[in-house]
Amino acid sequence: MGIFYLNNLKNRIRLLLRNPLMKSMVTVAVITFIIKAIAFYKETIIAGSFGLSEILDTFLVAVLVPTFIQSVFLNSLKHLFIPNYIAEIKSGHDRSGFQAIVFLMTLGISLLSILLAFLTTDLFLQFIFPNHTEIYYQLVKDQLYIILPCLVFWGFSTVLTGLLEVENKFLISTISEIFPLITMIVFLLYLKDDIGNLVLAYGTLAGSVLGFIFLLFFTIKGNNLLISRPVLNNNSKLMLRQLPPKITSSFLSAMNKFIDQFFAGQLVVGSIAALNYGNRVPAFGVTIVIMALGSVLLPHFSRLVNEDLKSAYKQLFYILKLVLGIGIVFVVIAIFMSDFIIELWLERDEFTHADTLKVSAIQQIMLANVPFYLCTLIIVKFLTSINENKFMAWISLINLTVNIILNFILIEYYGVYGLALSTTLVLTISSCFYFGYTYKLYRKLNL
């Protein structure tokens, strides 16, 4: 009986892996897991080198604006580019003109963002992170000016990744993320004494350049890069019309992290780093699943909604059920093991046991939102594929407003733990709204 069950299980796994969609998901999941394991090793080196110190806090503040711009503008453009680029291919138009428009937009956004960030740095620091020393501000600025050029490489890398994902080359697009990690580890191990306090910033820049070169090589090699004179047609115009609501949605969503960093900056030194570390394990689980599912599902849904919309909805609901059920089981286990995880991962040298307990408590709170946040991200991919970006903008505005209100209330009673609790409550409630809206669209389809 046992042998029969095992053989049956093996056969079912074999059949699943023959499915191109499932094969792509498994490939991305495995590579992402390896990359995130390397990322965890990088964090142990950073924690051992800097603890919850001013140097790490200032780096996190310096990288906040560039990563905010990447998340809001560059990733928004990629998410709109993929479904509309697939529509462009299906319509038989010249895709090289479509690519040219996206690359020009990416370059323009990157250069304008660099200029604005450079000119407004002092105002930003004084307003968002007041009452710090001049040494603190100078450390932030020194690192920010090194990191800002990354925006150009991140922007182009985002478009190249989109081109590879449309062609189902998920392995290459996922592997590219290993370069910033390896580069940072090398800089920390071998160049820290030479570069000093700027080692994290220089490591970020070098890793961004190497990742871009890797993606460019394989995009050219696979004949996926086809740039000619920019051409505006129905698909590119639709993409441009959807860009404002998509950027608005991404902006408001990214502002939640920005607001949390702002509130953490008003607390004792090390609170920003503690909040950052406390979210690492939850973010690890979210990234693995959303990279495996999200990266594959956006182009998949973009094709399917043009062929069989009802089938696309059914696949979405099945995936959500699976992710929510499995996610809850893993989260419960991770919450019970939280102290052990942080102690094993970070507690060494400058990172004390008191730091472990603080970060572990934050981590437990943040873990509770993971299953719901995963479902939200998957629904967002689906809604993007059907160009329902206006709804996401409104929900993002509500989330931001509620997060600010809860931060003000909860930080008074629980300090940095209140910020984590606020995030968890907002993400959980938001997930319910997203599902309700998507199910309403499905019901309308059946009427």
Binned at pLDDT 50, 70 and 90, residue 211 comes out as: very high
Using the predicted structure, report yes or no on whether residue 170 has a pLDDT greater than 50: yes
In this prediction, residues 325-334 reach a mean pLDDT of 89
Separation in Å, CA 435 to CA 171, 370, 438: 30, 15, 5
In a domain, 2, yes or no: no
In a domain, 9, yes or no: no
**Which tokens sit at 242?**
């959807």
Question: How far is 76 from 64, CA to CA, in rounded Å?
Answer: 17
pLDDT for res 188: 87
In this prediction, residues 269-275 reach a mean pLDDT of 73
Q: Percentage of the chain with pLDDT > 70?
A: 87
Question: How far is 254 from 67, CA to CA, in rounded Å?
Answer: 9
pLDDT for res 294: 58
Strands (E), 118-254: none
Q: Comparing 14-28, 37-51, 97-111, 245-259, which segment has the lowest mean pLDDT?
A: 14-28
Higher pLDDT: 83 or 401? It is 401
In this prediction, residues 236-260 reach a mean pLDDT of 76
Higher pLDDT: 337 or 253? It is 337
In this prediction, residues 403-429 reach a mean pLDDT of 88
Q: Comparing 18-32, 58-72, 365-379, which segment has the lowest mean pLDDT?
A: 18-32
Q: Which amino acid is at 74?
A: L
Question: How far is 165 from 180, CA to CA, in rounded Å?
Answer: 20
Of 107, 225, 120, which is closest to residue 163 (Cα–Cα)? 225
Question: How far is 145 from 198, CA to CA, in rounded Å?
Answer: 11
In a domain, 319, yes or no: yes
Binned at pLDDT 50, 70 and 90, residue 270 comes out as: low
Question: How far is 179 from 213, CA to CA, in rounded Å?
Answer: 10
Question: How far is 182 from 392, CA to CA, in rounded Å?
Answer: 35
In a domain, 270, yes or no: yes
Question: How far is 254 from 248, CA to CA, in rounded Å?
Answer: 10
Using the predicted structure, report yes or no on whether residue 107 has a pLDDT greater than 60: yes
Q: Comparing 27-36, 190-199, 416-425, which segment has the lowest mean pLDDT?
A: 27-36
In a domain, 350, yes or no: yes
Any bridge partners for residue 351, and if so which? 348
* Mean pLDDT across the chain: 80
Q: Comparing 9-13, 211-215, 243-247, which segment has the lowest mean pLDDT?
A: 9-13
**Which tokens sit at 381?**
């991919």
Contact criterion met (CB below 8 Å) for 52 and 355: yes
Higher pLDDT: 150 or 74? It is 150
Of 330, 371, 328, 358, which is closest to residue 419 (Cα–Cα)? 358
Q: What are phi and psi of 351, to 5 degrees?
A: -95, 105
Of 287, 294, 44, 32, which is closest to residue 177 (Cα–Cα)? 32
- How many domains is the chain partitioned into structurally? 1
Domain, as residue range, for 44: 23-446
Binned at pLDDT 50, 70 and 90, residue 52 comes out as: low
pLDDT for res 295: 62
Using the predicted structure, report yes or no on whether residue 6 has a pLDDT greater than 50: no
Q: Comparing 266-275, 307-316, 402-411, which segment has the lowest mean pLDDT?
A: 266-275
Rounded to 5°, the CA angle 184-279-345 comes to 60
Using the predicted structure, report yes or no on whether residue 121 has a pLDDT greater than 50: yes
Q: What is the pLDDT of residues 127-144, one digit of tens each?
A: 777 777 888 888 889 999
**Which tokens sit at 168?**
């189902």
Q: What is the 3-state secondary structure (H, E, C) of the chain?
A: CHHHHHHHHHHHHHHHHHCHHHHHHHHHHHHHHHHHHHHHHHHHHHHHHHCCCHHHHHHHHHHHHHHHHHHHHHHHHHHHHHHHHHHHHHCCCCHHHHHHHHHHHHHHHHHHHHHHHHHCHHHHHHHHCCCCCHHHHHHHHHHHHHHCCHHHHHHHHHHHHHHHHHCCCHHHHHHCCHHHHHHHHHHHHHHHHHHHHHHHHHHHHHHHHHHHHHHHHHHHHCCCCCCCCCCCCHHHHHHHHHHHHHHHHHHHHHHHHHHHHHHHHCCCCCHHHHHHHHCHHHHHHHHHHHHHHHHHHHHHHHHHCCCCHHHHHHHHHHHHHHHHHHHHHHHHHHHHCHHHHHHHHHCECCECHHHHHHHHHHHHHHHCCHHHHHHHHHHHHHHHHCCCHHHHHHHHHHHHHHHHHHHHHHHHHHCHHHHHHHHHHHHHHHHHHHHHHHHHHHHHHHC
Question: How far is 67 from 150, CA to CA, in rounded Å?
Answer: 10
Question: How far is 180 from 352, CA to CA, in rounded Å?
Answer: 27
Using the predicted structure, report yes or no on whether residue 10 has a pLDDT greater than 70: no
- pTM for the full predicted model: 0.68
In a domain, 8, yes or no: no
In this prediction, residues 208-216 reach a mean pLDDT of 93
In a domain, 418, yes or no: yes
Beta-carbon contacts of residue 276 (< 8 Å; ≥ 6 apart): 60
Torsion-angle region of 19 (φ positive above 0: left; ψ -120 to 50: alpha; else: beta):
beta
In a domain, 15, yes or no: no
pLDDT for res 9: 41
pLDDT for res 4: 45
Please tell me whether residue 305 adopts helix, strand or coil conformation. Answer: coil
For 245, other C-beta atoms within 10 Å of its C-beta total: 20
Q: Percentage of the chain with pLDDT > 90?
A: 13
Q: What is the pLDDT of residues 294-325, one digit of tens each?
A: 566 666 676 777 677 788 888 888 888 888 88
Instruction: Looking at mean pLDDT, say which of 177-181, 228-232, 285-289 comes out highest.
Output: 177-181
Using the predicted structure, report yes or no on whether residue 13 has a pLDDT greater than 60: no
Using the predicted structure, report yes or no on whether residue 30 has a pLDDT greater than 80: no
Please tell me whether residue 334 adopts helix, strand or coil conformation. Answer: helix
Question: How far is 430 from 279, CA to CA, in rounded Å?
Answer: 18
